Amino acid sequence: MPDLLQIGGITDAMRDRLAERFTIHQATGDYPADAITHIVTNGHDGVPADILANCPNARMAASYGVGYDAIDTDACVERGIIVTHTPDVLNAEVASTAIMLMLTSFRNFLSDEAHARSGNWETQGNAPLSRSADNRRVGILGLGRIGQAIADKLAPFNPDIHYHTRSRKDVPYTYHDTLVDMARAVEVIICITPGGPSTHHIVNADVMEALGPDGTLINVSRGSVIDEAAMVAALQSGTLGYAALDVFEEEPKIPDALKSMSNVILLPHVGSATHETRAAMGTLVVDNLISHLDNGLVISPVPETKHLNG
Ligand code: NDP
Note the pLDDT of residue 310: 84
Residues 142 and 242 in one domain: yes
pLDDT of residue 67: 98
Could you give the number of structural domains in the chain? 2
> Rounded to 5 degrees, what are φ and ψ at 223?
-55, -35
Please report the beta strands in the chain, taking only residues with DSSP state E, as ranges in sequence order. 3-7, 23-26, 36-41, 60-63, 82-84, 137-141, 160-164, 174-175, 188-191, 216-219, 242-245, 264-266
Q: What is the pLDDT of residue 162?
A: 99
The answer on 64 and 178 residing in a single domain is no
One domain for residues 120 and 207: yes
Q: How far is the CA of 38 from the centre of ligand 1 (A)?
A: 26
Ligand 1 within 6 A of 197 CB?
no
Per-residue pLDDT tens listing for the chain (310 residues): 999 999 999 999 999 999 999 999 999 999 999 999 999 999 999 999 999 999 999 999 999 999 999 999 999 999 999 999 999 999 999 999 999 999 999 999 999 999 999 999 999 999 999 999 999 999 999 999 999 999 999 999 999 999 999 999 999 999 999 999 999 999 999 999 999 999 999 999 999 999 999 999 999 999 999 999 999 999 999 999 999 999 999 999 999 999 999 999 999 999 999 999 999 999 999 999 999 999 999 999 999 999 999 8
Q: Is residue 228 flagged as an active site residue?
A: no
Say if residue 120 is in the same domain as residue 63: no
Q: Domain holding 127: CATH number?
A: 3.40.50.720
Say whether both 66 and 114 belong to one domain: no
- Judgement on whether residues 175 and 248 belong to the same structural domain of the protein: yes
Does the Cβ of 247 fall within 6 Å of ligand 1? yes
Same domain (yes/no): 101, 242: yes
First to last CA, the chain: 22
Is 181 in the same domain as 233?
yes
Given this model, what pLDDT does residue 120 score? 98
Q: Identify whether the C-beta of residue 165 lies closer than 8 Å to the C-beta of residue 145.
A: no
Residue 23: how many other CB atoms lie within 10 Å: 14
Mutate which of 192, 200, 247, 251 for ligand 1 pocket (most atoms within 8 A of beta carbon):
192
Q: Are residues 73 and 18 in the same domain?
A: yes
pLDDT of the residue at 122:
98
Rounded to two decimals, the pTM is 0.98
Same domain, yes or no: 184 and 258: yes
Same domain, 228 and 110: yes
- Give the pLDDT confidence score for residue 133 in this predicted structure: 98
Domain enclosing residue 180, as ranges = 91-266
118 shares a domain with 58 = no
193 C-alpha to center of ligand 1: Å? 3
Active site residue 93: no
Task: Tell me how far the alpha carbon of residue 62 lies from the centroid of ligand 1, in angstroms.
Answer: 19
d(C-alpha 232, C-alpha 257), whole Å: 7
Q: Is the ipTM, as predicted for this complex, more than 0.85?
A: yes
